[in-house]
A and B are shown apart, each in its own frame.
Chain A
Amino acid sequence: MSAISATVTTEPPDTTTMPVGRVAAAYLAEARYETIRMLRTPAFAIPFLALPVLLYILFGVVIFGPAIAKDPRAGRFIFTGFSVFGVMGPGMFGFGMAVAVEREQGLLRLKRALPMPPAAYLLAKMLMAALFALVVTATMIAATPLGHLKLSVVEAVGLVAINLLGSLPFCAIGFFLGTRTTSRSAPAMVNVLYQLMMHLSGIFYPLPKLLRTVSPLWPAYHLQQIVF
């Protein structure tokens, strides 16, 4: 043991500069362990991953299926609405709650004291939200034949790409809320904004004229405009 500790500390690094490869490795490690954490907490991941496709099947197939068979635009509306809904959750909840909790528990303080590249933490969580958006979109696309919706390969790939990028504004909102709330208030605050956005952005149903004037305030409205 003494031999090991001797080699450990007698030659501290002469240089404080990080080779590019080591910096990249730090980013990768952060993202990798963020993913591992998520895989080991399926109770968080599965609801966010499964709910959008299940709700799409419920509304787009079971309830409104016959109507959609006659009006393909309605089918597309319901599909895009639930895909936006699926992209919103992981960004807002994943980011918002995690930042609030990890800030309160001292983890962010420790990471600030350590020489972690500052962006590594954010990037890992953004990648995680994008990964959720990918799974959500892919499973929903797989379910489209049930809902009388025909997507070309180009459309499907475009949809995935837009939703990957589309998760970013929701990450930003979650991050902002996470820096302003405590672990106890974060779920409530995130939920308020999440519910308001879901209903006031008009992604699920046509809004009356007055409310339609404010729906462009919500990022969800614009994401649906793009994917529709």
Chain B
Amino acid sequence: MGASLEGPFLAELSGVAKRFGQTVALDGVDLRVHAGELLAVLGPNGAGKTTAISLLLGLEQPDQGSVSLFGRSPLSAEVRRLVGVMMQEVYLAPELRVREHIDLVTSYYPAPLSAEAAMEMTHTTSLGDRPYGKLSGGQKRQAQFAMAVCGRPKLLFLDEPTVGLDVQARKLMWNMLRQIVAAGSSIVLTSHYLEEAEALADRVAVLSRGRVIAIGTVEEIRGLVVRKQVSCSSTVAVEDVRAWPGVESAHRDERWLHVTTSDAEALVRRLLGADDDLRELEVRRAGLAEAFTQLTQEASR
């Protein structure tokens, strides 16, 4: 599974362990961010995603292992000038306007965009004169995104960037992320939305209970999972199908029967035998969401 480990990497966690009191947040994590990639870090709540990002930004120190950012310690202000950040929980001065917040952040960087250009790039120009405190949750995330990119970073850390965005704004942000990667920067993104990782990520790292339980391309992660999705239009009763060997779950919507199974061939044979009128048979490999669920369940056993 391991995706290519060659090539330059911008940030690295190496054998990192981190506890908070009795809680083990990270337990021997190795993670590299390569130049020009979008790495999605996925995992259930409390898996250690935010801790991993905090370590890479120098906000926390590892108990064991080492952390490097552009080959240096993340505590060095110089390397942080190459980094843009969007955090999950942050409350910014409500009385400052969006333009002013962005302008303040640009002042920290050696060769930033202007606030106007950053707003134009992130489609937030219309928010520029609004006091930050009057924005909706989604608009606040958009403003924070503009603050993350305004320093022209080589590496962007985005912790749950699209939480609170409506569908249109999310798609817009996805496009911006694709353009940023296409232009040569790297992105580390945590997300609850698996379809976000599926749509954007060059590589996916799945964290569970402080460990990296899988890492690779979206295809590779999906390939780790033997489950398949079988759908068809059939009169076979859902209750019967649930009892068949290999079937993990089954449900029916208006006219479709959907079955998740670890043995698609056996299921299909039996379905065809049970229903001569069966139509529109479809067999799919598990998506990232199913793979993710199975991987994290296995890891917590």
Contacts and interface: CB of A to CB of B under 8 A. Distances in A.
B89 interface: yes
Give the dominant DSSP class at B's interface. loop
Contacts of B80: 113-115
A107 B110 contact: no
Interface in B151-210: 151-154, 157, 176, 179-180, 183-185
Interface stretch (A18-26, A46-54, A214-222): A18-26
Given A25-B107, A26-B107, A109 B77 contact: no
Contacts of A109: 59, 87, 90
A41 B95 contact: yes
Nearest to B87: A110
- Looking at B85, B149, B176, the one whose CB has the most chain A CB atoms below 10 A away is B85
Contact of A4 (B57, B100, B117): B117
A5 B120 CA distance: 9
Interface in B75-106: 77-83, 85, 87, 89-93, 95-96, 100, 103-105
B109 interface: yes
B58 interface: yes
A208 B182 CA distance: 76
Nearest to A10: B183
Contacts of B184: 9-10, 12
Interface string A7-46: 0111111011111001001101110010011001100000
Interface string B104-134: 1101111101000100110100000000000
A16 B81 CA distance: 6
Contacts of B59: 109, 112-113
B110 A114 contact: no
Interface string A56-68: 0000000000000
A11 B92 CA distance: 29
A40 B133 CA distance: 12
A6 interface: yes
A11 B78 CA distance: 18
Contact of A16 (B110, B120, B183): B110
Given A9-B183, A36-B100, A105 B90 contact: yes
Nearest to B183: A9
B113 A110 contact: no
A15 B110 contact: yes
Contacts of A12: 82, 152-154, 184-185
A1 B180 CA distance: 12
Contacts of B90: 105-107, 109-110
Given A4-B120, A28-B107, A40-B95, 16 more contacts: A1-B120, A1-B121, A2-B179, A5-B121, A6-B179, A12-B153, A13-B81, A13-B110, A13-B152, A16-B110, A17-B110, A33-B104, A36-B95, A107-B90, A110-B90, A114-B80
Interface of A: 1-2, 4-6, 8-13, 15-19, 22, 25-26, 28-30, 33, 36-37, 40-41, 105-107, 109-110, 112-118
